[in-house]
Structure 1
Amino acid sequence: MKVSHIFGVATNFRLINYDESTLLTGRKCVHIPQVEAELEEMADRLEEQGGATAQQVDLNKKREAEMMKLKRDLEDARLQNEQQIAAMRKKQGDSVNELSDQLDQSNKARTRQVENSPFVDLIPFQQLMLSSATLVPSAEKERNDLKGVIEDLHAQIEQLSKGKINAEKTVKTLDCQVIELTSKLDESNQQLSEFSSSKSRSSQEVADLIRQLEEAESQISQLTKLKLQLAGQVDEARKNLEDESRIKAKLNGEVRGLTGDLDSLRESLEE
């Protein structure tokens, strides 16, 4: 084997070592420990984002349940308010109709009693005035009774109005709570969407880092194999070089011996 070939193999071996060192530590190539650290960091971030996403989903479900409950409470409050108003109006109408019927029947009964009396023409004027005087207190009493009933109805109407105001306040409060929960739910959905987008980007980054790591490991594996092959060639070349050196030394010794013999022979011939 020629010495130039041996030097070429050694040079290739040094280049392989340099390429491997560059692959492991160079700025333009993949730094495997750094990639592994980034992968670990990405995994932690994905885990945190997964936990945050799950918590956000649970929070959204709770808020949706609260909003549905508030909507049901709001609907129940409105329905109850309408039922109370309808019941009070019906009760008021029934009371007024009943009193009106009683008053009409009382007036009709008195009229029939006076018209049907056989002694109506024989009653002196003084007695007629006395009878009229006795009817006035009765009418006054009925009027006072009717006035009391009307006052009760007014009190019921006032109570109903207060109940309506309170119900409207309750409905307004529930409406505000529904609006607030709806806003929070929209905000939570926006955050959930951002979490999902961030998780997707992180997953893509992790996939890219894994691909780079696999490519770097593949390059290192190829360089390692080539390094082993060249190391074998270097060992073989070194062995051949040592063999050639021994042969050369042996030949030099033989040449020196032959040169000495030649000199001795030349001296003998000259003598």
Structure 2
Amino acid sequence: MAEAVEEIAVGCIGAGKMARGVLGGLLISGKVPAKNITVSAPTDTNLQYFRARSCSTTHSNLEVVSRCHVIFLATKPHIIPTVLQEVSSAITPNHVIISMAAGVSLKTLEQLCPVGTKLLRISPNLPCVIQEGAVVFSRGPSAGQKEADMLKCLLSGCGMCEETPESYIDIHTGISGSGVAYVYLFAEALADGAVKMGMPSDLSRRIAAQTLLGAAKLILQSGEHPAKLRSDVCTPGGTTIHGLHELEKGSLRATVMNAVEAATKRARELDKR
């Protein structure tokens, strides 16, 4: 499959942050050579990223569909109907259409594409661009195991990639797509706390980032529940339990859970507009 993937012509309609995240991951990993990637966008602004990496660029969405076999849809959710109406006549049974638009369901995509179109829906996050992303995907009824395996092979260069029921995708948006921003906010707060206590800003940011990185790797590599690892750090009467008490006073857990719920609900609302 890996050898076949290298020969696939990959297109992307849209050139914003998520396009850069996913296709950037493909480029860094070497899964697909730049010469096999074509990206479209209405203006040159976002296309500069791809031109600098020797990808083909165009302002024509139809050109992307005509040149490529695998098409990523990376536009804003409300633009998806307009884009698919524009390119629908050029979509053939040989195409694989992969949408990363938040909140746009497979059912909606089916209604906008020719009958029998091979459709997949993915939910990526920004760290795909450094091959540390978290991606989940679901298949439409016309996409089979071959298309699923192809997508897994492509996105394995972006980090974690798992197939899930479609009902999990909006939840993934809430926990991971949007969750990256929650983590950045927490990292900023950690660093600011250290600055308040007298540490230089540059050093505190690096330490905060490494702390989050190390803690995340320990969850993945140990397989332990986060609550168990948290308990391991706490000693009776020690510094950590005093700090955790302050976080509990601020309802950190409930607030984060509410944030995931709010983002998930918003993703679900997007498909109803």
TM tier relative to shorter chain: under 0.3
When Rg is computed on C-alpha atoms for both structures, the one with the higher figure is 1
Q: Highest relative contact order (Cα 8 Å, sep 6+), 1 or 2?
A: 1
Q: TM-score, normalised by structure 2?
A: 0.18
Q: TM-score w.r.t. structure 1 length? A: 0.18
- Between structures 1 and 2, the one with greater helix share: 1
